[in-house]
Each structure stands twice: as C-alpha cells, then as structure tokens.
Amino acid sequence: MPVEALASAAGTATMEITISKFELLRELTATQGVVERKTTIPILSNYLFEAAGDRLSLTATDLDLSLRTSCGAKVKKEGSCTIPARKLHDYVKLLPDADITLKLLENHWVSIRCGRSNTKMVGMAKSNFPALPVFPTAGVVNIPSKVLRSLIAKTSFAIANEESRYTLNGALMVLKPESITMVATDGHRLAHIERAGEKFDGISGEMKTLVPKKAMDELKSLLDSTETDAIEFAKDESTLYFRIGPRLLTSRQLTGQFPNFEAVLPKETPKSITIPASELSSAIQRVAQFADERSRAVRIRLEKGELKLSASSTETGESEDSIETNYDGESLTIGFNAQYILDFLKASGSGDVKLELKDAQSAGQLRPADSEDYKYRYIVMPMRI
Amino acid sequence: MGFSDFHGNAGVVHRLREMLAHQRFPQAVILAGPTGSGKYTLALMLAKTLNCLQPVTTDGLPDFCGKCSNCTRIAVAEDLEARTAEAVEARENLRETDKKETRLFIQTHPDVLVIPPDPPQLMIKVDQVRRVIDSIYYRPAEAKERVYVFTDAAFMKEAANSLLKVLEEPPEFATIFLLVENSGELLPTIRSRSMLVTLEALSLEEIEHYLAKHRSDWTSKQRALVARLAEGAVGKARSFDLPAYTAARAHALIILNSALRTGDHGELFKTTETYRAGAEGREKIERLLRTLYGLLQDLMFLQSGTPELLHNIDIESELRKLSEAANFDWIATAADRLAEVDRGMRRNLLRSLSLDAFAAALEK
C-alpha cells in the first residue's frame, strides 16, 4: 500500500488535506450506516482516512460489513489517520459551505479547520484499524444497478429476523449466464424474483451467493443514491464485494445452506383470480383491523364473481369486505397472515395482481398480472382458521 | 512464547494439544478451575494456536509462534482487567440513549471475541449472547477459526437459554470457550453440549517453585506465605499484593482480638473508622472480609489439630493464642455473622458500623 509506505518512510505519520465540505459530508453520510453506534470496541466507531494522490478515501467497518468510499481532495501531505465517526459527522454537518482543512497532529490528534472554526479531535492509532479485504482481480461480474435495486426491494422484506434460523438471515442470489434471481424467505413466505435477458460475462453454469440482510440493507441505500449504471460484484471464500461507483461495500459471507426453495414453489394452481392491487390492499387493511392481534389471520373466500375477506376476534368484533372478480370455479376458503400479503402488495406496486390457489391446505401464490421484464412470485403458507 | 509458559496442569494441556494435533478440537469447551488457575490464559493460548499464521511444533504437538499478526493481536486481550476497563470507559463516553443498549465486548482480533460479564450486575446478558449468535455464522475474515470466550459463568437466565441453540450446532469454523469456577453453575443443558476440561489448583511446591523464579524480590518466608494464600492459583500468586494483604490482616486481627481477648474498643473503633462509605472503599472492605474468613479458617485448622494446613504461617503463635480463646461454636457463629456483614455490604450498610457490630456481637 503506497500510503503506508509513505507514512513509515517519513518516520512519523503525517496527513494534510483540503476538501470541500459538501463532498466530505456526502461521503460521511453515505458511510454512517456501517459505523457501529453501540460498541465498546473503540476503533469500530472511528473512520479510517487515507489521503493519496488527489483523493481522500474513507473507510468504516463493523467487522461484518465494511464500506470504503472516496472523494476528490487537495492533498498537501499524503498519509492516514482515524477519527471518531459520529462526532465528525455531527460536526461537519454544522460547518458552513466552504473548504475544510484536515491535518494530523501528534498523538493521533486531528485538527479540523473551516473558515473561522477550528477544532481538534483525538483519533486512534491507524494500526488498530482492522485490515480490509482486497477486491479480487478475477471473477468480477457486472450487474445493472437498476436490476439489482429492484431485486432487493422486492425480496428483502421477506428475510427472516429470527436468530435461530441463520441461513434464512439473508437472501440467495443466483447468477446464470443470462439471468439473475433473488430469493428470500422466513419459512412462512417466500419472495422469488428472476430477471432474464441479461448478459453476465464470466458466469458459467450457476453461481449461488447468500447475501446477509445487513449487506442487503446497506446495498439498497447505496444503490438508491448512485447514478452508476452497473455495479461490480465479486467474491472469495470469506467475503462478498460490491463496487458501486467509487464506493466499495464488503461483507463477510454467511455460512450454511439456503433451503431448497424450488420444492415449495407450487406446481399447479387451478384457481386463479386477477384483482387490482390497490383494492386488495385497502380491503385487507380494513379487515385486518379486526384480526387477532398476534396471528393477524384474515379469511379469504373465493366465490362465484366475488372475493370475500373477513376477520374476527373476540375483543374487537368482526369485519367483512368483498371485491368483485371474474371467478367462476368452485368456492374455496383459506386463511392468510394479513401482514404477509400487505408486504407483497407494497413491494409489487400498483397494477393488477394474480392470486393463485389450489386448496385450503396448500400455499398460495401472488404475482403481478403483467410484468414483462421480471418474473416475480410470492408464496405464502396458509393459516388454519 | 508458547505452551511452555503455561504453569501446571501439564496433563490437561497435553490432552488439549493432542486434540488440536488430530484436528479434533471440540467446538464448545468448558474450562473449569479456581480463580487464577489459568483458564483465560489457556483459552487465549488455544485461540492463538488455532489461528497462528506460522504454526510451530514443540514436543511434537501444535503450538503458537506468538509473533504473527494473529498471535500478537489476540495477545492484546491478555490483560483482561485493563481491556474490560477500557470497554467500560468507552461505554461511559457514549450518548445516554445508546449507553443502555450497549454491552461490553473485547475484540482485539476481528475473529476472536471475548465476552466479559456486563456491569453493574456483572452477569452475561442476553444481548451479549445475541451478538454472538448474530456474528458466529459469518465466515472468519483473517483467521481460520472464530473463537468466542465467555469469561464468566454468571449468565442471566435468558442469556443462558439463548446460548443453547448455538452451542448445539456451532458452524464448523467456530469454537466457544466457557470459563467457570465451578461447572455446576451452568445449566445442565449447557454442560451436556460442551466438553468439560477441569484445571486443578497447583500444589504448594509448584507455586513456591514458580515464585522462586518469578518473584525473587520476595523473601523465602514471604513466598511460602503467598503460595499458601494463593490457594493453587499461579496467576494470583504472582500478582499478589502483599502489603495490602498485610494491612488488611492487621485490621482483621484487631477485630478478632477485640472480640476474643482484650475487648479494647478504642483500637477497634480507630480501625473500623477507616472503612468509609463510597465506591473507593469497596475493595478495601472486600479484602478485609476475605482476610477475616481466611483467619477464621486458620483458627479452625488449629482447633482441629491440623496445623499443617495453616495459611498464615508467619503469625502462627498469635493465631494459637487466639485459638485458645475460641471454640468450635464461636468460630461457626463468627463465620455466619461474617456472611451477614458480607450481605449487608451489598445492601450498602455503613461499613464501619457493620464491622463494629460484628466485633461486638462476638465478644465473649
């Protein structure tokens, strides 16, 4: 690393840079999510700043996840230092829009000057900062940002929060030469989305990756704030790498086998209706007010020309709603957790949705009625009611 | 550097290293043994050996180099007290709202997590175990094996329960150490999921021999005394604070003398007055109470005709005089009363008054 070599060659650590407040604050804000707030391991609440060439790179890590970003800066003296992350962010926010000069002093003190403001903060020895994994040179795959963002948005809500089922605490990403699929489940429902018609160079066969929930959340917010067309993805035995423009997110890999989700995808669903998502959503929300608070169970009844939703609990009373449909098969009653259905309707957006059922004991499937680019399906296990 | 620095329990250490050599090291290990027997030292040595980047072999068994970046970083955690103090301080500096939800951890290497009991209750809390569960399934970053060390057996009930699941099926690259004084303190369900390794207290000769090498600044009489007082714990013996102990013992003798023989209250009150309220006096009174227990034990040894078990050998004649004035019932009552004082301390009773009452109640 050239930065390290420079600092050690000089004998004492040095660093002096000037940077615009706007750019610094933008990068600080982007990395705040990774900085550990509640930690008793002091170095993790610090940023690592490294200045070299005409750039300043900032790194934050919580050991599971790390985020490195960089921005242009006038580097007077190359070098590196660490600074308490939260205080710095809070302070820089309050500074006027002008250039900020950062200078490393003795004993890890850092001076921050901006206009007529002058502050000193104490960091820690740079050597305490955890080593960061290095982006692999081979096996890099380009994924369109828009596609990945939509894949994450449509699956991440189904990831389990249960600590005991650790392989479900992430989403499975499957890359094939011409498609990308993402699957997430918590054991009660499963979100599955596939995007075909892409071209992924360097993929032969199938590449399966378990992406931890924390990394998904961070990735989503990074994708939301980028204008880059494609991100670079790579992995080695222990780490996943996502490069989004100038930012690099790394995550340690989770162990374990993602369940064989293909087995739960329903093969035949003879009973199918198409309804506008907004109508279904508001009807369920109304009815769910009267559902049992713990189970959130609502009863769905398919009848000729009509979909009936109802819920009742001993404390609050009972409620029924109905939606007109073109259904003319046998009638069927099935129970679902209202929240699970609402989660899907929120993610799938407006438009019509298809509800496909087999019988009261089998999983139901929900799909957007017209989606050309993505094959999106959502499987919900029924409840006994 | 290496296992040769570990004192005592050669057989146990040998067995553990053989397991390492055969790659059959258990994933959950209870290291049981008295304070100072080297549980924490041994756990860190094993963590280093599991992760050493330039593994060496001594006596035909795996050892660690002590010099590679993994070994040196793990070694930073060796001073548990200092690291815990740092962690407590780090928490003190947090915002009020974050403080409550922050738990103590010591992590000097990204893959080795030490979990000390969380103050002020000094117990392992459920949030600490949750953190372990959250992170244990991530693959190690810079090491081969993720190592978790619980330094105390005082688990909150919920914490112990949530540990069960992960103990039952840890990922293949993780090892969990539970350090306890008495394995009976753990839930039977935790015990049955782990391998129990018991460290014995060291014999008097071993400790005296060790002290002769490492504490040559003490006289042989002092070393003999410390070896007995350390009760088989080599770490405790080496760092024994002899002046503080002697001072506490002088006070303890004044209290016992006042109760058993002279009844000179002037001296008693002058002594007990120095035990003031407040946090800084806490260590002092705890030391005094422990010393009092030790002296009562010695009196009991003399009463029962087993003077060879005596701890405070340097004041044997004084203890004999005391023991002539006491009898079995008196010693038993005194021990009970002392336990009451001990409990009272936890309820923040006035220290000096509790000690006065203790001495007065035992007067003959």
β partners of residue A100: A19
- Is the per-residue pLDDT at A81 higher than 70? yes
Q: How far is B133 from chain A (nearest CA, A)?
A: 7
Mean pLDDT over residues B222-247, rounded? 86
DSSP-based three-state secondary structure for A109:
strand
Mean pLDDT over residues B34-45, rounded? 90
Beta strands B28-32; B174-180: pairing state: parallel
- Is the per-residue pLDDT at B212 higher than 90? no
DSSP-based three-state secondary structure for A130:
coil
What is the separation of C-alpha A144 from the centre of its chain, rounded to a whole number of angstroms?
15
Return d(Cα B109, Cα B148) in angstroms, integer: 11
Q: Of the candidates B109, B115, B33, which has an alpha carbon nearest to the alpha carbon of residue B80?
A: B115
DSSP-based three-state secondary structure for B273:
coil
pLDDT band for A4, please (50, 70, 90 cuts): very low
Reported as a single tens digit per residue, the pLDDT across A96-107 is 999 999 999 998
The kind and range of the H/E element at B301 are helix B282-303
Among the residue ranges A101-110, A173-182, B89-98, the one predicted with the least confidence is B89-98
List of long-range contacts for A43-47, beta carbons under 8 Å, 24+ apart? A43/A82, A43/A124, A43/A128, A43/A129, A43/A130, A45/A84, A45/A85, A45/A86, A46/A82, A46/A83, A46/A84, A46/A85, A46/A123, A46/A124, A46/A129, A47/A82, A47/A83, A47/A84, A47/A85, A47/A88
Please, are residues B125 and B153 in contact by the beta-carbon 8 Å criterion? no
Q: How far is A329 from chain B (nearest CA, A)?
A: 47
Q: Of the candidates A96, A61, A83, A66, which has an alpha carbon nearest to the alpha carbon of residue A17?
A: A83
Return d(Cα A159, Cα A347) in angstroms, integer: 14
pLDDT at A256: 82
Mean pLDDT over residues A129-138, rounded? 89
What residues contact A24, with CB distance under 8 A and at least 6 apart? A56, A71, A92, A100
Residue in chain B nearest A63 by alpha carbon: B110
- Is the per-residue pLDDT at A198 higher than 50? yes
Mean pLDDT over residues A27-40, rounded? 88
Chain B hits for A164, Cβ within 8 Å: 133, 165
What is the percentage of chain B residues whose pLDDT exceeds 70?
Answer: 98
pLDDT band for A7, please (50, 70, 90 cuts): very low
Question: DSSP string of B111-151?
Answer: TEEEEPPBTTTTBB-HHHHHHHHHHHTBPPSSSSSEEEEE-
pLDDT at A264: 86
Q: How far is A166 from chain B (nearest CA, A)?
A: 7
Q: Are B94 and A131 within 8 A, CB to CB?
A: no
DSSP-based three-state secondary structure for A186:
coil
Angle at A163 between CA A154 and CA B94, to 5 degrees: 95
Please, are residues A41 and B107 in contact by the beta-carbon 8 Å criterion? yes
Residue in chain A nearest B167 by alpha carbon: A164
pLDDT band for A12, please (50, 70, 90 cuts): low
- Is the per-residue pLDDT at A9 higher than 50? no
Q: Are A163 and B133 within 8 A, CB to CB?
A: yes
CA B50, B51, B53, B58 torsion-angle sign: negative
| Residue pairs between chains A and B whose CB atoms are closer than 8 Å | 71
pLDDT at A8: 44
pLDDT band for A57, please (50, 70, 90 cuts): very high
Instruction: Say if residue A272 is exposed, middle or buried (CB neighbours under 10 Å; 0-12, 13-18, 19+).
Output: middle
Interchain CB contact of B107 with A (< 8 Å) = yes
- Is the per-residue pLDDT at A5 higher than 70? no
Angle at A374 between CA A158 and CA A234, to 5 degrees: 70
What is the percentage of chain A residues whose pLDDT exceeds 70?
Answer: 96
pLDDT band for B238, please (50, 70, 90 cuts): confident
- Is the per-residue pLDDT at B86 higher than 50? yes
| pTM for the predicted model, two decimal places | 0.79
Q: Give CA torsion, residues B14, B17, B22, B26, to 10 deg.
A: 110
Cis upstream peptide for B120 (omega within 30°): yes
Return d(Cα B155, Cα B180) in angstroms, integer: 11
Which two three-digit tokens encode residue A196?
A: 């075909």
β partners of residue B109: B112
What value does the CA radius of gyration of chain B take, rounded to a whole number of Å? 23
pLDDT at B277: 77
Angle at B269 between CA B263 and CA B272, to 5 degrees: 115
Mean pLDDT over residues B50-55, rounded? 93
pLDDT band for B271, please (50, 70, 90 cuts): confident
- Is the per-residue pLDDT at B81 higher than 60? yes
Mean pLDDT over residues B330-344, rounded? 89
Q: Are B102 and A42 within 8 A, CB to CB?
A: no
Beta strands A79-84; A74-77: pairing state: unpaired
Edge-to-edge strand order for the sheet containing A306-313? A317-324, A306-313, A297-303, A332-337
Mean pLDDT over residues B153-177, rounded? 91
Residue A368: how many CB atoms within 10 A of its CB?
A: 22
Three-class SS string for B185-201? HCCHHHHCCCEEEECCC
Return d(Cα A253, Cα A65) in angstroms, integer: 10
Q: Of the candidates B221, B195, B193, which has an alpha carbon nearest to the alpha carbon of residue B208?
A: B221
Q: Are B137 and A38 within 8 A, CB to CB?
A: no
- Is the per-residue pLDDT at A167 higher than 90? no
Please, are residues A16 and A103 in contact by the beta-carbon 8 Å criterion? yes
CA distances from B164 to A41, A68, A187, B192 (A): 26, 36, 21, 10
> A2-128 is classed in which CATH architecture?
Roll (3.10)
Please, are residues A363 and A382 in contact by the beta-carbon 8 Å criterion? yes
Chain B hits for A41, Cβ within 8 Å: 87, 90, 105-107
pLDDT at A370: 83
- Is the per-residue pLDDT at A11 higher than 60? no
Residue with tokens 């992760």: B51
pLDDT at B352: 87
> A141-260 is classed in which CATH architecture?
Roll (3.10)
Chain B hits for A255, Cβ within 8 Å: 137-139, 171-173
More reliable by pLDDT, A103 or B262:
A103
Chain B hits for A254, Cβ within 8 Å: 137-139
With a CB-CB cutoff of 8 Å, which residues 270-299 of chain B face chain A?
none
Q: Which CATH number fits domain A266-380: 3.40.50.300, 3.10.150.10, 3.40.140.10, 3.40.50.620?
A: 3.10.150.10
Return d(Cα B124, Cα A319) in angstroms, integer: 47
Please, are residues A212 and A251 in contact by the beta-carbon 8 Å criterion? yes
Return d(Cα B291, Cα A291) in angstroms, integer: 65
Q: Are A212 and B138 within 8 A, CB to CB?
A: yes
Mean pLDDT over residues B294-322, rounded? 90
Mean pLDDT over residues B201-226, rounded? 87
Q: Of the candidates B334, B290, B169, which has an alpha carbon nearest to the alpha carbon of residue A257?
A: B169
Among the residue ranges A163-167, A188-192, A230-234, B314-318, the one predicted with the least confidence is A163-167
pLDDT at A358: 92
Residue with tokens 């336990």: B339
- Is the per-residue pLDDT at A3 higher than 70? no
pLDDT at A203: 87
Three-class SS string for B234-272? HHHHHCCCHHHHHHHHHHHHHHHHHHHCCCCHHHHHHHH
- Is the per-residue pLDDT at A10 higher than 50? no
Return d(Cα B188, Cα A45) in angstroms, integer: 38
Return d(Cα B291, Cα B271) in angstroms, integer: 15
Q: Are A255 and B138 within 8 A, CB to CB?
A: yes
pLDDT band for B349, please (50, 70, 90 cuts): confident
Return d(Cα A113, Cα B110) in angstroms, integer: 34
Q: Of the candidates B362, B364, B355, which has an alpha carbon nearest to the alpha carbon of residue B285?
A: B355
Q: How far is B167 from chain A (nearest CA, A)?
A: 11
Interchain CB contact of B67 with A (< 8 Å) = no
Q: Of the candidates A186, A249, A184, A192, which has an alpha carbon nearest to the alpha carbon of residue A215?
A: A249
Q: How far is A304 from chain B (nearest CA, A)?
A: 49
Chain A positions contacting chain B at CB under 8 Å are 37-42, 63-64, 130-131, 133, 163-164, 166-167, 169, 212, 237-239, 252-256
What residues contact B2, with CB distance under 8 A and at least 6 apart? B56, B58, B63, B64, B66
Residue in chain B nearest A37 by alpha carbon: B98
- Is the per-residue pLDDT at A2 higher than 70? no
Beta strands A179-185; A170-176: pairing state: antiparallel
Residue in chain A nearest B172 by alpha carbon: A255
Residue with tokens 């498609």: A179
Which among A131, A163, A254 is the nearest to B138, CB-wise? A254
Which two three-digit tokens encode residue A219?
A: 């990735």
With a CB-CB cutoff of 8 Å, which residues 171-230 of chain B face chain A?
171-173
Q: Helices in chain A by DSSP H: which ranges? A: 2-10, 21-31, 85-94, 145-153, 213-224, 277-288, 338-348
pLDDT at B263: 64
Q: Are B138 and A41 within 8 A, CB to CB?
A: no
Q: Helices in A240-331 by DSSP H: which ranges? A: 277-288
Reported as a single tens digit per residue, the pLDDT across B104-115 is 999 989 899 999
Mean pLDDT over residues B208-237, rounded? 86
Task: Report chain A's mean pLDDT, rounded to a whole number.
Answer: 90
Q: Are A163 and B103 within 8 A, CB to CB?
A: no
Q: Where in chain A is the domain with CATH 3.10.150.10?
A: 2-128, 141-260, 266-380
pLDDT at A59: 95
Instruction: Say if residue A132 is exposed, middle or buried (CB neighbours under 10 Å; 0-12, 13-18, 19+).
Output: middle
Q: How far apart are the first and last CA of chain B?
A: 56
Residue with tokens 């609990």: A313
Mean pLDDT over residues A133-161, rounded? 93
Q: How far is B122 from chain A (nearest CA, A)?
A: 16
pLDDT band for A1, please (50, 70, 90 cuts): very low
